[in-house]
Amino acid sequence: MRCKIETKGNISPCYNTYIHCCASYSNQKLMIKTKLTIAIILALILNSCNGQKNEIDIQNHVNSEKKLNENKPKVNYNEYSLFHSDFKSQISQVVRTIFQDSKGNLWFGTQNGAFKLNGNTLIHIDSIVSESGKDVTIKEITEGKDGKIWLGHTDGVSSIDGEIVNNYSKSDGLISNDVWSINADKHGKIWIGTINGVCVYDGQEFTNFSLPEGKIDTTVGVSSTRMVHNIFEDSKGTLWFSSNAGLFSYPNDTLINVSKKLGIQTNFINQVFEDQNDQLWVSTKVGLYSLKNSTAHNITKGKIEKGKGIGSIAEDKDGNIWFVSNQHFLFKYNKEKLTEIKKTENNKRPVIFEIFRDKDNRLWFVGFGGAFRMENEKFINITKNGPW
């Protein structure tokens, strides 16, 4: 709309019309500007929300190995003092795994990398790093047929041959850098369980090994449909895979769904363990199973509190089975009854990630709080200076 001023006379006959007209025009322009401004603001808000959603989606799918590296356990020193008084002397605040090689050397896998005990000297293997040169968290250790030590960690796998360390990652053919389990079979192959499935190294290259897809365990911090927690070779040479799709065995190059065959009441399997009588034990989300005569028997059913399930398993020199339940409770099973081993003010232990029996028949307990060994029914804190 346009308004035109009459110039004849002192006051234009269209003045009032003009004022009203222009005011109307201005109001319309203001309304248009206001609507346009509101539209822009709404668009920005919607775009911001969509952007935020995309950021959340991306964050929810961040590679779990990066989460583990960046979100290492934060230690509350008041809590930490419950385990021991001198946290600075610990091998590490978090010891994830322990292993003894064929030469008798003890290896500790920690959130600060790997440590090797040679005699009475504890050595940090500082050349085990990620592709970007960052430190890694060691989650499992094994020894190859040729004597090489293999370590699975948060940025791939590493091998140690004397003084030579080789680091391998996805760029070398690994199925994933987020490695949770590693095992060397009797033929010299290295089997690697990751958050994205299994691959095997034959000394030359990495080859993917197919397992069925399972489900995500929502009760734990890191999980996936293809996660493999443990790979184990029994005394008969059969491989066992503990995954989020169930328990699988691999005799004579044939994959068998043992969970389905034996009726194990969960697909969340944590570990397979073989005792000195060749009996297999399976830790799962719903309890500890013994496998005998082609049957699976849940020995903890109705006897322990359910939750995150059974973790690490070990056997002492007397044939008792030791295991962790719900990350915080330690039990001993003498094949007849369960006994909870409670910690007290005068007998403290870590939050146990792994139980291990060495060649001297000593039981080790490692986890959040460091490394401990049981001696005369007491938990002894083993620091950088021993006692070895």
DSSP string across 146-166: TS-EEEEETTEEEEEETTEEE
Residue type, 27: N
CATH number for 68-382: choose from 2.60.120.10, 2.130.10.10, 3.40.50.800, 2.160.10.10.
Answer: 2.130.10.10
pLDDT of 319-370, one tens digit each?
A: 999 999 998 999 999 999 999 999 999 999 999 999 999 999 999 999 999 9
8 A C-beta contact, residue 209 and residue 231: no
CA distance 115 to 110: 8
Residue with token string 């697909």? 267
pLDDT at site 58 = 32
**Per-domain residue ranges of the chain:** 14-61, 68-382
Model confidence at 307, pLDDT cuts 50, 70, 90, reads confident
pLDDT at site 326 = 92
Quick one: DSSP state of residue 344?
Answer: B
pTM listed for this prediction: 0.79
pLDDT at site 95 = 98
pLDDT at site 88 = 82
- Specify the pairing of strand 239-243 against strand 280-284: unpaired
From the CB of residue 275, how many other CB atoms can be counted at a distance below 10 Å? 16
Helix (H) or strand (E) holding 366: strand 363-368
> Backbone phi, then psi, for 259, in 5-degree steps?
-55, -45
| Residue 374 backbone class (left: φ over 0; alpha: ψ -120 to 50; beta: rest) | beta
pLDDT of 93-122, one tens digit each?
A: 999 999 999 999 999 999 999 999 999 999
Whether the predicted pLDDT of 152 surpasses 90: yes
Output the average pLDDT for the chain.
84
pLDDT at site 305 = 83
pLDDT at site 130 = 94
From the CB of residue 318, how many other CB atoms can be counted at a distance below 10 Å? 8
Pair of tokens at residue 34: 């206001």
pLDDT at site 165 = 97
